Structures are given as C-alpha cells and as structure tokens.
C-alpha cells in the first residue's frame, strides 16, 4: 500500500497493491500500520455505503463540532470525488481537490476533518464506501453549494441529480464563518 501526500495538508491518496490472477484480485483496503507510518493515527468508528445511479451528486457535506475524517473509495463503477478545503487559515482554503475513484485501480482518498466532501456518479451506477473517524450527527451536518462559483468545480456530468437539501446549501463566501472549521496545521 502506498500513501501519497497532496498539496492539501492532511489529504492523502491511498494506492493499494493489487494481487490479481485468473481467479480475480485481492488487496488490503486498510492497514493501520501503513497509515501510522504516514503520520495518520486514525481510529475509524463508522463505515458507510451508498449506491447511486449516473448523474447523482451527493454533497458537499461536512460536520463542524464532530468533524469526520473519511477514507473513501468506489467499489463498483466510477465517481468524480471532490474534497473542498474549508479550514479557516489553511494554505489551500477554498480550493477543491478532485479525482476519479473507480473499481478498476481501487485507489482511495483520505480526507481529513475540515473538508466539505461530495461526489458525482459518472458510471451507470456506483457503490461508494467510506470509513469515518467520527459518527454521523444529523444536527451537526452543514454543506457548501455544489456549484459554488469560487470553488469552480468542473463536474463531469451536465444533468445532475441532487437532493433539495444539497441544492440549497450556501456558497462558501456566504457561509457563516462560525460554521467553518479552523486549520490546525
């Protein structure tokens, strides 16, 4: 397993070593000692899974008081995954990190607390899994509008399907600054 830093403090790309043969494949999707070597001492407390059809966009979500670190991967199909740095004082504040996650290369992304996260399904359907460092608190969930003009995320699908809640989140510039996490670099 290879864990690679990005220009975003704390955001890591996780590339597994896939062992394949005529029967299929095997890989370790998580092993704590590799994360510890990458200075990520994580304790996951909740696993989530969603299944969505093409064009579904979920996000951009975050929790403030109970920030969640997330290890995300697409186990069926392909998604365009986005992590938007919303940590006040971060050198990458307001910038999105985006990459494709799929069931072909099995790459995962570790997103630390302080990012708003979302993804868009680009295959006919997708199963998306994430391990979280904190449980879900419905009363502590906030969001940033999926098409925030300053983030300028280039979603790869024209006809998107969003929940009413996701459609009505504020832009980052309009978000109450007390509802944004602080960077703890």
Q: Per-domain residue ranges for the chain?
A: 44-179
Which of 62, 110, 130, 142 is catalytic? The answer is 130
Q: 41 pLDDT exceeds 90?
A: no
Which regions of the chain does DSSP assign to beta strands (E)?
A: 2-5, 12-15, 19-21, 24-26, 46-53, 57-63, 70-76, 78-85, 96-102, 108-111, 115-121, 125-132, 141-143
The verdict on whether 137 is a catalytic residue reads: no
CATH number of 44-179: 2.60.120.10
- Summarised one tens digit per residue, pLDDT across range 95-109 is 999 999 999 999 999
Which has the closest alpha carbon to 11: 33, 39, 44, 37? 39
The verdict on whether 130 is a catalytic residue reads: yes
The model's confidence at residue 185, banded by pLDDT at 50, 70 and 90, is confident
Give the pLDDT score at 131.
Answer: 97
Which of 61, 62, 110, 117 is catalytic? The answer is 61
Q: Compute the average pLDDT of residues 138-143.
A: 96
């Amino acid at each position: 397993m290879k864990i690679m830093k990005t220009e975003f403090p704390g955001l890591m790309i996780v590339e597994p070593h896939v062992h394949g043969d005529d029967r299929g494949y095997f890989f370790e999707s998580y092993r704590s000692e590799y994360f510890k070597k990458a200075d990520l001492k994580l304790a996951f407390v909740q696993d989530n899974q969603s299944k969505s059809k093409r064009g579904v966009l979920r996000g951009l979500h975050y929790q403030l008081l109970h920030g969640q670190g997330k290890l995300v991967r697409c186990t069926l199909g392909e998604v365009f995954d986005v992590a938007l740095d919303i940590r006040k004082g971060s050198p990458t504040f307001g910038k999105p990190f985006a990459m494709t996650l799929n069931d072909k290369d099995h790459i995962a992304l570790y997103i630390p607390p302080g990012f708003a996260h979302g993804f868009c399904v680009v295959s006919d359907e997708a199963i998306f899994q994430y391990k979280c460092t904190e449980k879900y608190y419905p009363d502590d969930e906030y969001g940033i509008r999926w098409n925030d003009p300053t983030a300028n995320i280039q979603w790869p699908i024209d006809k998107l399907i969003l929940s009413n809640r996701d459609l009505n989140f504020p832009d980052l510039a309009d978000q109450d600054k007390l509802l944004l996490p602080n960077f703890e670099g």
